[in-house]
C-alpha cells in the first residue's frame, strides 16, 4: 500500500515544489497509489477540445480540489491557456502507449531527473498510478521520475525537456564532465539501437542467437549506465520472447523470472504485467510465440540451476566457447560467425567490434567471419556474388578490389562453393540495397568442397 508518511512535498531552491523522503526508503517501496484528479486525451489535435474537457471535469470538483489543480506548475505561461499549460506540464500517461493520461495532485509534483530513482506506472487493475522507488533512498533525498521514455543522449534530452517542460536539466547525468558525458552518450545511443533491433521478429526467428547476444550486450550497457528502471525488465522480456519463439522453455522461464523480479520492484505484485509474468513462469508455452520455431526446443524444467554462476550465465545467454574439445572453431557460434543481419552496420561504428584508434581509423577489436554458400555469379563492371548465409538470407557481395573481383584466388568461384569473409560490414548501396562491399582480397577465402576451415586462433 502507499505510505504517505515517508515523503513530504516541499520547496527546493531552483526546483520548485519537490517530493522528498522523510526517512530511509528501501527499493521496491510503493510510496504512492493515486487516482487521477482529471483525465486528458494524449493524441487530440484540438487544444480547445482538451481545454473544454478538462474544465468540465474541474467544474465537478470541490473548491479545494480545483485550487489544488491551479496550484500546480505551469511551464508555459502566456503560450497556452492556464488550464492547457498546467496539463502540458503535469499530465502523466496511463501507460506508454495509452490514449489517455491524467493529472495527479501528488504524483504530478514529482520532479524529473535523467538519473531518476522512482518509476511511475499506471495500474489498470486498480485504476491508480503507482510510484515505486527502485533504489534505496536516504532521509532528505528527493524522489524523482523520468519525463522522457527512451535512452536519448544529453543534447536530445535537453532539447526535448526544454520544448516540453521549459527547463534545462542539471541532474547528475546531465552534469557529467565532458569526457564521461561523451562516453555515456555513446552507450545511450547504442542502447537505443539495440532496444529497437532486438524486437525485430525476422531476426528473432532468422538469427536468434545473434539477437540473444544483442540482448546480452544491452544488459551490459544498462549496467554500465547504472540503469535499473523499466528498461531492464523490458530487456528480459525481449530475451524471453527470443527464447520462447524458438521453443526454448528453459531459458524462457529464467528470463521470465528475471523480468518478474524487476517488475515486483517497479510495479508491485498487483500489476497486470507482473501477474502475466508470474503465469509465464509457471508455463512459458502459453505465450503466443511458442512453437513459431523449435530449433532450441527444451523442457521448462531443464534449467541447469546447479551450475556455478558464471557457467549459468554463459548457458543462459548462449555464450559458449568458440572452440570444441578438439580445438576446431565452432562454426555455429553466431558471436564469431554471424549471419548477415548480425554483422555490424558500416554507417554506425560499433565499438564492441572496433577500436577507434587515432579517432579516424577503425580497426577490429574482436574477430568475426561471415560464412555463406555461393548461389549465383555475375560480372558486368565487377564481380558480384549472390550468396546464402546460415540463416537462409540471400545477400549480394560486390567486389571493389583492385582487380574488381577477377583475382586468381576468387575468379574460379562457382555456385555451390562456400565463402568465408573476415570482418565484413553491412553496406548500404546507392540503389538502396544492402549487402557486402568487399574491398580487400586477402580477407576472403573460397572452398569448393563445402567445408571451410578457419584457424581457431583467428576467431578467439
The string over 348-367, giving b where at least 16 C-beta atoms fall within 10 Å of a residue's C-beta and e elsewhere, is: eebeebbeeeeeeeeeeeeb
On whether residue 329 sits in a domain, the answer given is: no
Q: What is the CATH number of the domain that holds 353?
A: 2.40.50.140
My answer on whether 193 and 150 are in the same domain is no
Quick check: helix, strand or coil at residue 416? coil
Neighbouring CB atoms inside 10 A of 442's CB total: 9
Q: How far is residue 271's CA from residue 273's CA, in Å, rounded to a whole number?
A: 5
Total domains present in the chain: 3
On whether residue 346 sits in a domain, the answer given is: yes
Q: Which of 165, 198, 221 is the last residue of a domain?
A: 165
Q: Are 387 and 374 in contact (CB under 8 A)?
A: yes
Q: How far is residue 275's CA from residue 281's CA, in Å, rounded to a whole number?
A: 10
Partners of 444 in beta bridges: 421
Q: How far is residue 231's CA from residue 282's CA, in Å, rounded to a whole number?
A: 23
Question: DSSP string covering 168-186, please?
Answer: ---STTTTS-HHHHHHHHH
pLDDT given for residue 363 in this prediction: 54
On whether residue 310 sits in a domain, the answer given is: yes
Q: Which of 205, 206, 200, 195 is nearest to 339 (CA)?
A: 206
On whether residue 171 sits in a domain, the answer given is: no
On whether residue 323 sits in a domain, the answer given is: no
Tens digit of pLDDT at every position of the chain (460 positions): 344 589 999 888 878 888 999 999 999 999 999 999 999 998 777 899 999 999 999 999 999 999 999 999 999 998 999 999 999 999 999 987 788 999 999 999 999 999 999 999 999 999 999 999 999 999 999 999 999 988 899 999 999 999 999 999 999 999 999 999 999 999 999 999 898 888 888 889 988 988 999 999 999 999 999 999 999 999 999 999 999 999 999 999 999 999 999 999 999 999 999 999 999 999 999 999 998 999 999 999 999 999 999 999 999 999 864 444 444 566 766 777 888 988 888 766 555 555 544 444 455 556 788 999 999 999 888 889 999 998 889 999 999 988 888 887 777 788 989 999 988 989 988 888 899 999 888 888 887 544 433 333 333 3
Give just the sign of the alpha carbon dihedral 11, 17, 21, 27.
negative
My answer on whether 156 and 9 are in the same domain is yes
My answer on whether 146 and 110 are in the same domain is yes
My answer on whether 184 and 304 are in the same domain is yes
The three grid cell numbers given for residue 367, joined into one nine-digit string: 574477430
Q: Which of 316, 349, 377 is the last residue of a domain?
A: 316
My answer on whether 361 and 304 are in the same domain is no
According to DSSP, the β-strands at 369-379 and 418-422 are: antiparallel
Neighbouring CB atoms inside 10 A of 30's CB total: 18
Alpha-carbon Rg for the chain, nearest whole angstrom, is: 27
Q: How far is residue 10's CA from residue 34's CA, in Å, rounded to a whole number?
A: 19
According to DSSP, the β-strands at 111-112 and 394-399 are: unpaired
The secondary structure of residue 133, as a DSSP letter, is E
Q: Which of 404, 400, 408 is nearest to 424 (CA)?
A: 400
Cα distances (angstroms) measured from residue 137 to each of 18, 95, 120, 140, 160: 15, 25, 16, 9, 28
According to DSSP, the β-strands at 144-145 and 111-112 are: parallel
The residues, ordered by sequence, that sit 6+ positions from 242 with a Cβ below 8 Å of its Cβ are: 198, 204, 208, 211, 212, 215
Q: Are 208 and 223 in contact (CB under 8 A)?
A: no
My answer on whether 235 and 296 are in the same domain is yes
My answer on whether 440 and 367 are in the same domain is yes
Q: Which of 118, 133, 165 is the last residue of a domain?
A: 165
Cell 493529472 belongs to 103
pLDDT given for residue 52 in this prediction: 94
My answer on whether 246 and 110 are in the same domain is no
On whether residue 99 sits in a domain, the answer given is: yes
On whether residue 170 sits in a domain, the answer given is: no
- E strands, 345-442, where? 354-355, 363-364, 369-379, 383-389, 394-399, 418-422, 427-428, 434-438
pLDDT given for residue 366 in this prediction: 63
- E strands, 144-246, where? 144-145
pLDDT given for residue 451 in this prediction: 40
My answer on whether 46 and 158 are in the same domain is yes
The residues, ordered by sequence, that sit 6+ positions from 114 with a Cβ below 8 Å of its Cβ are: 146, 148, 157, 169, 171, 172, 173, 174
My answer on whether 109 and 201 are in the same domain is no
According to DSSP, the β-strands at 16-21 and 7-12 are: antiparallel
Residue 93's H or E segment, with its range, is: strand 92-93
Full residue range of the structural domain in which residue 25 is found: 4-165
Q: Which of 366, 368, 370 is nearest to 339 (CA)?
A: 370
Q: What is the CATH number of the domain that holds 75?
A: 2.170.270.10
My answer on whether 16 and 113 are in the same domain is yes
Q: Are 312 and 304 in contact (CB under 8 A)?
A: yes
Quick check: helix, strand or coil at residue 270? coil
My answer on whether 148 and 20 are in the same domain is yes
On whether residue 14 sits in a domain, the answer given is: yes
The residues, ordered by sequence, that sit 6+ positions from 39 with a Cβ below 8 Å of its Cβ are: 57, 94, 100, 101, 102
Neighbouring CB atoms inside 10 A of 159's CB total: 11
Side-chain half-sphere exposure of 234, counting CA atoms within 13 A? 17
Amino acid at each position: 500500500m502507499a505510505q504517505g508518511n515517508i515523503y513530504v512535498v516541499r520547496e527546493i531552491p531552483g526546483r520548485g515544489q519537490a517530493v522528498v523522503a522523510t526517512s530511509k526508503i528501501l527499493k521496491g517501496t510503493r510510496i504512492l497509489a493515486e487516482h487521477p484528479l482529471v483525465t486528458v486525451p494524449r493524441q487530440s489535435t484540438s487544444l480547445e477540445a482538451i481545454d473544454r474537457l478538462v474544465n468540465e471535469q474541474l467544474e465537478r470538483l470541490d473548491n479545494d480540489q480545483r485550487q489544488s489543480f491551479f496550484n500546480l506548475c505551469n511551464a508555459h505561461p502566456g503560450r497556452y491557456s492556464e488550464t492547457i499549460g498546467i496539463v502540458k506540464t503535469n499530465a502523466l500517461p496511463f501507460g506508454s502507449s495509452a490514449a489517455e493520461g491524467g493529472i495527479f495532485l501528488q504524483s504530478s509534483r514529482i520532479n524529473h531527473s535523467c538519473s531518476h530513482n522512482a518509476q511511475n506506472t499506471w495500474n489498470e487493475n486498480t485504476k491508480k498510478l503507482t510510484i515505486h522507488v527502485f533504489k534505496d533512498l536516504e532521509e532528505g533525498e528527493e524522489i524523482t521520475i523520468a519525463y522522457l521514455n527512451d535512452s536519448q543522449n544529453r543534447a536530445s534530452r535537453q532539447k526535448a525537456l526544454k520544448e516540453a517542460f521549459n527547463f534545462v536539466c542539471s541532474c547528475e547525468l546531465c552534469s557529467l564532465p565532458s569526457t564521461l558525458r561523451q562516453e555515456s552518450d555513446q552507450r545511450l545511443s547504442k542502447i537505443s539501437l539495440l532496444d529497437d533491433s532486438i524486437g525485430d521478429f525476422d531476426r528473432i526467428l532468422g538469427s536468434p542467437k545473434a539477437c540473444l547476444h544483442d540482448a546480452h550486450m544491452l544488459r551490459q550497457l544498462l549496467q554500465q549506465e547504472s540503469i535499473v528502471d523499466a528498461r531492464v525488465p523490458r530487456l528480459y522480456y525481449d530475451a524471453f520472447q527470443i527464447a520462447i519463439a524458438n521453443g526454448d522453455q528453459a531459458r524462457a522461464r529464467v528470463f521470465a523470472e528475471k523480468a518478474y523480479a524487476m517488475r515486483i520492484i517497479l510495479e508491485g505484485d498487483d500489476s497486470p504485467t507482473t501477474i502475466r509474468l508470474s503465469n509465464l513462469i509457471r508455463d512459458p508455452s502459453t505465450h503466443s510465440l511458442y512453437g513459431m520455431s523449435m530449433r532450441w526446443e527444451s523442457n521448462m524444467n531443464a534449467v541447469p540451476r546447479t551450475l556455478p554462476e558464471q557457467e549459468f550465465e554463459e548457458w543462459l545467454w548462449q555464450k559458449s566457447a568458440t572452440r570444441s574439445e578438439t580445438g576446431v572453431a565452432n562454426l555455429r557460434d553466431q558471436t564469431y560467425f554471424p549471419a548477415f543481419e548480425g554483422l555490424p552496420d558500416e554507417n554506425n561504428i560499433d565499438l564492441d567490434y572496433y577500436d577507434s584508434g587515432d579517432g579516424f581509423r577503425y580497426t577490429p577489436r574482436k574477430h568475426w567471419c561471415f560464412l555463406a554458400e555461393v548461389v549465383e555469379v555475375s560480372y558486368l563492371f565487377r564481380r558480384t556474388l549472390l550468396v546464402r548465409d546460415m540463416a537462409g538470407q540471400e545477400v549480394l557481395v560486390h567486389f571493389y578490389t583492385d582487380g574488381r573481383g577477377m583475382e586468381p584466388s576468387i575468379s574460379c568461384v562457382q555456385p555451390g562453393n562456400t565463402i568465408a569473409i573476415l570482418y565484413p560490414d553491412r553496406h548500404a548501396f546507392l540503389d538502396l540495397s544492402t549487402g557486402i562491399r568487399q574491398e580487400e582480397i586477402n580477407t576472403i577465402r573460397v572452398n569448393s568442397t563445402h567445408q571451410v576451415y578457419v584457424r581457431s586462433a583467428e576467431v578467439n
